[in-house]
């Protein structure tokens, strides 16, 4: 379903590529609203007047087989500019009579050198000479040009890497301009948007605040809304938005599980209560959490216990408030995209935040999800427009089960305390050394192994602290952050000297995949 009516937008038809989301990001970053839709959604579009351009994404399907994902050719002939990327190019070629073959021996994965053959509006400022480095990921290639198309650029393996039919404003490229490994990929999008689609740079998430508040007012009317506030950026922005719309008819519940970072919960509670004047109820449930988690080592069991307990506490508390009709939730755009398949069917599992999943049905509440059109970075900007303090706005993501999944093995209050201290030293140093905002997520974890150390003249036998810091765009993949050696030396010293219970510090140098960001 198209989410919104807008005056102008670009739609991206998702054929299932892992990086479709990045296309939408790049376009929005250029000041144009973009929306990802499924093939099924496309059939429901009656009015194309607001659609100024269509991008066909990559995907795992192959036009060399009998059954492949397709869209009606007449959509491509509406004189709305089309840009096909990877599978999108192959589909265009197939629909217009070209030939596509499987590159059994010479598949192209990774960087490739693209050579310019002739000029095109699409490649203005893209080549800095005759060649440019692009990112390829394909097994099929177009081997015969469709009628009325011409070749713009080639690589060694695929001659038809950029093709165009200017009369019908149809363009196809085999490489991925949306990934950062493609040099100057942004120029392709710029040219497509501003020179081919003739769309104007008018959209910015900062200006969405007013519309969102009005929308919440219209939906909620005189009813009440409840929300689980964790102090993370998503739930904080949701709470501020809903509060601006309906003031004290928003009830915020903060459940202190005892599994949060040092002093963080107290700090957020005071901020929302005193500075933002929200109607917040704080529930201290740490004893209950420790009791329920006693001797539990299995990661999935830990997660389930924490999630179920949260629902129980939240439900009990909400019953104290009469006439609540809505639950406000910080679902983001990637959650929506990931929960549906490219052919349009809803996949079985909708990814939901562990501690609110299941709540709306159980409590008979309707959902409001004001952030469902936005990416995380955009939510941070929305937060800015709402006056949300930088310490929350720029906060690294934090998992619902909290420190429980950063301590391997059973949780005890003592281990939590040790970890909170180590983590606090690490995070503070990141902030002081201006590294915090360059890192997507960083934390300290506690490994259950004790090792021998020596401090002064005494033998120690204590836990190992693991430090993790990653850079990422959306948490789906991540690379470990390369710290200068001096910084690691300093942190290791500070933690071992400052935190009784830890005598060894290690730095995790695995990326995702094969590891995950969290330990459990
Ligand atoms: P992984 O460990 O799967 O984490 O690589 C990817 C991102 O998801 C966060 N994460 C969670 N967030 N509830 C959350 O709200 C959870 O149960 C949960 N588990 C992982 C993790 O912190 C990282 O940002």
The per-residue pLDDT for 336 is: 81
CA–CA–CA angle 183, 185, 189 (5° rounding): 165
398 CA distance to ligand 1 middle (Å)? 7
Q: Whose structure tokens read 């004189």?
A: 79
The per-residue pLDDT for 335 is: 82
Contacts of 433 (CB under 8 A, 6+ apart): 487
Structure tokens at 145: 């040009």
Q: Using a 6 Å cutoff on CB, does residue 400 contact ligand 1?
A: yes
Q: Using a 6 Å cutoff on CB, does residue 204 contact ligand 1?
A: no
The per-residue pLDDT for 351 is: 31
Q: Whose structure tokens read 């400052």?
A: 498
113 CA distance to ligand 1 middle (Å)? 37
Q: Which of 35, 108, 164, 178 is catalytic?
A: 178
Contact indicator for 443, 399 with CB cutoff of 8 Å: no
Select from 397, 474, 480 the residue to mutate for testing ligand 1; criterion: most ligand atoms less than 8 Å from CB: 397
User: Where in the chain are all domains bearing CATH 3.40.50.620?
Assistant: 224-393
Give domain 406-507's CATH number out of 3.30.300.10, 2.40.50.100, 3.60.20.10, 3.30.479.30.
Answer: 3.30.300.10
pTM: 0.87
Q: Assign residue 31 a region: left if phi > 0, alpha if psi is -120 to 50, beta otherwise? A: left
Q: 395: buried, middle or exposed (CB in 10 Å: 19+, 13-18, 0-12)? A: buried
Structure tokens at 376: 């995380």
* Ligand 1 atom index nearest CA of 518: 2
User: Where in the chain are all domains bearing CATH 3.40.50.880?
Assistant: 9-196
Which fold, 9-196? Rossmann fold (3.40.50)
The per-residue pLDDT for 333 is: 87
- Bridge partners, 407 (sequence order): 446
Q: Using a 6 Å cutoff on CB, does residue 177 contact ligand 1?
A: no
* Ligand 1 atom index nearest CA of 397: 24
CATH 3.30.160.270 is right for the domain spanning 224-393: no
Q: Using a 6 Å cutoff on CB, does residue 516 contact ligand 1?
A: yes
Contacts of 233 (CB under 8 A, 6+ apart): 376, 379, 380, 383, 388, 392, 393, 394, 395
The per-residue pLDDT for 357 is: 60
Q: Assign residue 143 a region: left if phi > 0, alpha if psi is -120 to 50, beta otherwise? A: alpha
176 included as an active-site residue: yes
373 included as an active-site residue: no
Q: Using a 6 Å cutoff on CB, does residue 512 contact ligand 1?
A: yes
CA separation for the pair 382, 356 (Å, rounded): 22
The per-residue pLDDT for 349 is: 35
CA separation for the pair 458, 460 (Å, rounded): 6
**Peptide bond preceding 58 in cis form (omega within 30 of 0):** no
Contact indicator for 161, 73 with CB cutoff of 8 Å: no
The per-residue pLDDT for 345 is: 41
DSSP 183-252: TTHHHHHHIIIIIIS-------GGGGHHHHHHHHHHHHTT-EEEEE--SSHHHHHHHHHHHHHHGGGEEE
Distance of CA 251 to the CA centre of its chain: 27
* Ligand 1 atom index nearest CA of 472: 24
User: Where in the chain are all domains bearing CATH 3.30.300.10?
Assistant: 406-507
Q: Using a 6 Å cutoff on CB, does residue 441 contact ligand 1?
A: yes
Q: What confidence tens digit (pLDDT) does each residue in 399-434 have?
A: 999 999 999 999 999 999 999 999 999 999 999 999
468 phi, psi to nearest 5 deg: -130, 135
Atom 18 (ligand 1) nearest CA: 399
The per-residue pLDDT for 340 is: 67
Q: Using a 6 Å cutoff on CB, does residue 299 contact ligand 1?
A: no
CA separation for the pair 406, 445 (Å, rounded): 5
518 CA distance to ligand 1 middle (Å)? 7
Instruction: Count Cβ neighbours within 10 Å for each residue of 434-455 and write b for 16 or more, e otherwise.
Output: ebbeebbbbbbbbbeeeeeeee
C-alpha dist (Å) from residue 254 to 245, 280, 308: 20, 7, 16
Instruction: Count Cβ neighbours within 10 Å for each residue of 242-277 and write b for 16 or more, e otherwise.
Output: bbbbbeebbbbbbbbbbbbbbebbeebbebbbeebe
Select from 229, 399, 439, 479 the residue to mutate for testing ligand 1; criterion: most ligand atoms less than 8 Å from CB: 399
86 included as an active-site residue: yes
Q: Which residues of the chain have pLDDT under 50?
A: 1, 345-355
End-to-end CA distance of the chain: 35
């Amino acid at each position: 379903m198209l989410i919104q009516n807008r005056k102008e937008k670009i739609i991206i038809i998702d054929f299932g590529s892992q990086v479709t989301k990045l296309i939408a990001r790049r376009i929005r970053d250029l000041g144009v609203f973009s929306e990802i839709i499924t093939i099924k959604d496309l059939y429901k579009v009656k009015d194309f007047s607001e659609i100024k351009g269509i991008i066909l994404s990559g995907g795992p399907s192959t036009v060399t087989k009998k059954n492949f994902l397709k869209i009606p050719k007449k959509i491509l002939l509406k004189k709305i500019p089309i840009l096909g990327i990877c599978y999108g190019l192959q589909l265009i070629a197939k629909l217009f009579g070209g030939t596509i073959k499987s590159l059994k021996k010479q598949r192209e994965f990774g960087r490739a050198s693209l050579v310019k053959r002739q000029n095109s509006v699409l490649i203005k400022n893209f080549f800095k000479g005759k060649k440019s480095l692009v990112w390829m990921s394909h097994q099929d290639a177009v081997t015969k040009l469709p009628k009325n198309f011409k070749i713009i650029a080639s690589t060694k393996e695929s001659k038809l890497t950029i093709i165009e039919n200017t009369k019908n404003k149809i363009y196809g490229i085999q490489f991925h301009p949306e990934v950062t490994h493609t040099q100057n990929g942004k120029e392709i999008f710029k040219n497509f948007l501003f020179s081919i689609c003739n769309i104007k740079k008018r959209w910015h998430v900062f200006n969405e605040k007013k519309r969102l508040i009005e929308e919440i007012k219209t939906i909620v009317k005189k009813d009440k809304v409840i929300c689980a506030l964790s102090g993370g950026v998503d739930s904080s922005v949701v709470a501020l938005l809903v509060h601006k719309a309906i003031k004290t008819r928003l009830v915020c519940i903060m459940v202190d599980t005892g599994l949060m970072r040092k002093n963080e919960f107290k700090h957020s509670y005071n901020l929302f209560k005193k500075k933002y004047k929200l109607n917040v109820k704080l529930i201290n449930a740490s004893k209950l959490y420790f009791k329920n988690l006693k001797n539990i080592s299995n990661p999935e069991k830990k997660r389930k216990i924490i999630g179920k307990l949260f629902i129980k506490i939240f439900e009990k508390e909400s019953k104290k408030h009469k006439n609540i009709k809505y639950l406000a939730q910080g679902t983001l755009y990637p959650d929506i995209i990931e929960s549906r398949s490219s052919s349009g069917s809803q996949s079985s599992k909708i990814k939901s935040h562990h501690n609110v999943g299941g709540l709306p049905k159980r409590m008979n509440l309707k959902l409001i999800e004001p952030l469902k059109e936005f990416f995380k970075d955009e939510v941070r900007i929305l937060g800015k427009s709402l006056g949300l303090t930088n310490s929350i706005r720029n906060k690294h993501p934090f998992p619902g089960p909290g420190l429980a999944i950063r301590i391997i093995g059973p949780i005890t209050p003592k281990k939590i305390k040790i970890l909170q201290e180590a983590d606090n030293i690490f995070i503070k140093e990141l902030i002081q050394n201006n590294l915090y905002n360059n890192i997507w997520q960083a934390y300290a974890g506690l490994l259950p192994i004790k090792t021998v150390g020596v401090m002064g003249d005494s033998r120690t036998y204590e836990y190992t602290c693991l430090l993790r810091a990653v850079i990422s765009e959306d948490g789906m993949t991540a690379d470990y952050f390369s710290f200068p050696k001096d910084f690691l030396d300093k942190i290791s010293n500070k933690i071992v000297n400052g935190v009784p219970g830890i005598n060894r510090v290690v730095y995790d140098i695995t990326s995702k995949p094969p590891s995950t960001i969290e330990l459990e």
